[in-house]
Amino acid sequence: MDATSKDIPEPAGESANWTLRVRRYIDRLLPMDHLLPDRQPYYVGSWVYVFGVVTIAALVWVVVSGVVLSFMGPQWWHVSSLGRFFNSLHFWSVQLFFIFMVLHLWGQYFMASWRDGRAATWLIGVVIFGVSILTAFTGYLSQQNFDSQFIAINAKDAMNGAGIGAFFNVLNFGQMYGLHVMLLPIGVTFLVVWHIVMVRTRGVVKPIDPEGASKS
Amino acid sequence: MDSPTTYFHWGFILISLPNLLVIAGMVVLFAIALVAPFPHGGKDDGRN
């Protein structure tokens, strides 16, 4: 038997169990044709809309190369040729991530994409930008070379000057490495997923002056 | 590789040549994205 949820009659009324209420809420909030659309409005046919998805692609490479680096360790990524390749892959995918994130930011800024109830989507993007910078900084501190030592020695004064040196000790490699490979990547990934779901929920913002509309 | 890079200093702006090149490249890429034709970008009455 190939019974699907459509074959089973749903209980009537709002007094049904909580899983049904949650499912109905999700169906109303984000139907599957919004989550995975096969068609988009004509104004989405521009390369500007590609910047966001390139950013996500770069993030995937960052995470994949980062997982390999964390598994193999500093001796591997500094000494062996394959380790140095993955070290470079991690570094350059981060460069692409930031470059295309900023290009995506420019595009969304000039089309004022916080309009029509999309303020939260914009603000989550702002937070992703901030958390990503923090992740990159802790990455520089996690290199395990003279560069990371130089950065840590200089950065500690900024942290102490800001009054957060006791909580955010850049000379503590274990803390910086833990933040870089665990907490901050989870934060970035969670926020990116949330950002995408919100974009899918609302759809892409209409142009400020759509073609053929509002001629005054 | 071991020598320091060139820096440009205009008033309060201080930027290295590599960073300036990256930013210039991003501006060029953004401009190209605005004007370059997008494949299969025809009219569509889909969801908006």
Query: What integer pLDDT is reported at residue A203 of this predicted model?
Result: 84
Average pLDDT over residues B26-45: 82
Regarding whether A158 and A76 lie in a shared domain, the answer is no
Contacts of A202 in chain B (CB under 8 A): none
Query: Does the pLDDT at position A35 exceed 70?
Result: yes
Regarding whether A131 and A88 lie in a shared domain, the answer is no
Q: What is the ipTM of this complex?
A: 0.80
Cβ of B38 within 8 Å of Cβ of A203? The answer is no
Q: Which structural domain range is residue A60 located in?
A: 47-96
Closest to A146 in 3D by CA, of A93, A66, A62, A78:
A78
Average pLDDT over all residues of chain B = 85
By Cβ distance, the residue of B29, B32, B41 closest to A45 is B41
Report helix angle A50-72 to A81-110, nearest 10. 150
Cα A43–Cα A48–Cα A53 angle in degrees, nearest 5: 105
Residue A1 within a domain: no
Residue A181 within a domain: yes
How far is residue B25's CA from residue A98's CA, in Å, rounded to a whole number?
13
Query: Does the pLDDT at position A115 exceed 70?
Result: yes
Least confident piece of the model among A106-120, A123-137, B10-24, B33-47: B33-47
Query: Does the pLDDT at position A216 exceed 50?
Result: no
Q: How many domains are there within chain A?
A: 2
For residue B45, name the pLDDT band (cuts at 50, 70, 90). Answer: very low
**Shortest Cα distance, chain B CAs vs residue A202, angstroms:** 9
Cβ of B48 within 8 Å of Cβ of A41? The answer is yes
Regarding whether A197 and A130 lie in a shared domain, the answer is yes
Regarding whether A122 and A85 lie in a shared domain, the answer is no
3-state helix, strand, coil in chain B (%, to 5): 40, 15, 45
How far is residue A197's CA from residue A203's CA, in Å, rounded to a whole number?
10
Least confident piece of the model among A3-7, A61-65, A106-110, A195-199: A3-7
**Shortest Cα distance, chain A CAs vs residue B44, angstroms:** 5
pLDDT tens digits, one per residue of A156-212 = 999 999 999 989 999 999 999 999 999 999 999 999 999 999 998 888 888 887 665
Provide the whole-model pTM.
Answer: 0.84
Residue with tokens 């040196």: A165
How far is residue A48's CA from residue B13's CA, in Å, rounded to a whole number?
29
Length of chain A: 216
Residue A176 within a domain: yes
Query: Does the pLDDT at position A46 exceed 90?
Result: no
How far is residue A184's CA from residue A43's CA, in Å, rounded to a whole number?
35
Average pLDDT over residues A27-38: 81
Average pLDDT over all residues of chain A = 89
SS3 A46: coil
**Shortest Cα distance, chain A CAs vs residue B28, angstroms:** 11
CA A40: distance to chain centroid? 22
Contacts of A107 in chain B (CB under 8 A): 30, 33
How far is residue A26's CA from residue A183's CA, in Å, rounded to a whole number?
28
**Shortest Cα distance, chain B CAs vs residue A11, angstroms:** 31
How far is residue A132's CA from residue B48's CA, in Å, rounded to a whole number?
30
Beta bridge partners of B14: B9
Regarding whether A196 and A141 lie in a shared domain, the answer is yes
Residue B26 sits at the chain A interface (C-beta within 8 Å) = yes
Regarding whether A121 and A87 lie in a shared domain, the answer is no
Cβ of A45 within 8 Å of Cβ of B47? The answer is no
Regarding whether A92 and A119 lie in a shared domain, the answer is no
pLDDT tens digits, one per residue of A3-30 = 455 566 665 555 678 888 888 888 888 8
Residue with tokens 């595009």: A107
Cβ of B30 within 8 Å of Cβ of A42? The answer is no
Residue A103 sits at the chain B interface (C-beta within 8 Å) = yes
